[in-house]
A = this chain, B = another copy of it.
């Protein structure tokens, strides 16, 4: 495979531009090094060892995962200091305990007292402590205790007072940055999230509750950080290593920073309906975006006049945004390059990624899957 041109790959294929990945990773590392904040990159977008090595600059330490499958995969490959940033699922307590006992640092997340009780029912062996992060909801509206509710402080206190358990940190996901448009809006959400989180840290201190770490994250907020984020201990973005059309629209990056493509091939010409078919359906791209981009389900690189109108499992319908399709420009068998709307959603559809440097395949990466 190595040495092959990406033009010669069987399609559809997910390609990863290694230089862009390295640059995106390096920019994020340097940005938070300068701010004196620990970067704890999230693995959920790619779920591969190779990309994790790039994001952690080879340390294999200090990562976030979204599934226990990822946690086990990274632990099995020499990673440590892994934060399983998911509201503790009660079916996975025993597996979390095993990882906690096996690794130097395995962190879990809780946002309710029932989860804390589950942890207390399973004390770790050899006097190890459960490393618990309290999930705080700072106006995102997904998981977490709302930062302003007394329940948040009460839960922090309960965690810190529980035997066998340590309140390690406060964790906030500012997913609400995904509805932002432009740097200014992103920074406003980043500022609010930082302020609420730091205020909560002060409240903990004022109440004599030990908790050393605070972390916020999302690719938009960490791509457009505010100075106050220097007062946090950590940040935990993930998507930035690939970026995507959505991030470019939010204002996290430029479209040229996007490191991934789905290479697809023209498989049919249908002049009677002014369309052509490509061999990428939702099985190769995902249905994310709902087709609501002006160019449909993706941006077709170099062809802003084309729209990926609809998809079935393995077929994509492409037509011009206006006018007649010039079929001579797109012969049967020729390639189109789709810039995904949401890289996390597209990557999850592929059992292997083709990593290239200037269009020449240099590696293949195999993600972990499942839960």
A residues within 8 Å of B by Cβ?
8-13, 44, 66-68, 86-92, 111-112, 114-115, 118, 141-143, 146, 149, 175, 265, 267-269, 272-273, 277, 279, 282-284, 286-288, 290, 312-315, 317, 331-333, 344-345, 348-352, 369-371
* Contact in complex: A312, B349 (CB < 8 Å): no
- Find chain B residues with CB under 8 A from A290 CB: 287, 290
* Contact in complex: B345, A348 (CB < 8 Å): no
Nearest Cβ on chain B to A325's Cβ, whole angstroms: 15
The CA of A118 and the CA of B91, in the complex, are separated in Å by 54
- Find chain B residues with CB under 8 A from A67 CB: 314
* Contact in complex: A314, B66 (CB < 8 Å): yes
- Find chain B residues with CB under 8 A from A12 CB: 371
Which chain B residue has the least Cβ–Cβ distance from A11? Answer: B91
* Contact in complex: B272, A146 (CB < 8 Å): yes
* Contact in complex: B87, A371 (CB < 8 Å): no
- Find chain B residues with CB under 8 A from A352 CB: 370
Nearest Cβ on chain B to A254's Cβ, whole angstroms: 24
Quick one: which of B66, B112, B284 contacts A332, CB cutoff 8 A?
A: B112
- Find chain B residues with CB under 8 A from A350 CB: 370
Nearest Cβ on chain B to A340's Cβ, whole angstroms: 13
* Contact in complex: A89, B143 (CB < 8 Å): no
With A269-B112, A283-B348, A332-B115 already in contact, the answer to whether A143 and B315 are too (CB < 8 A) is yes
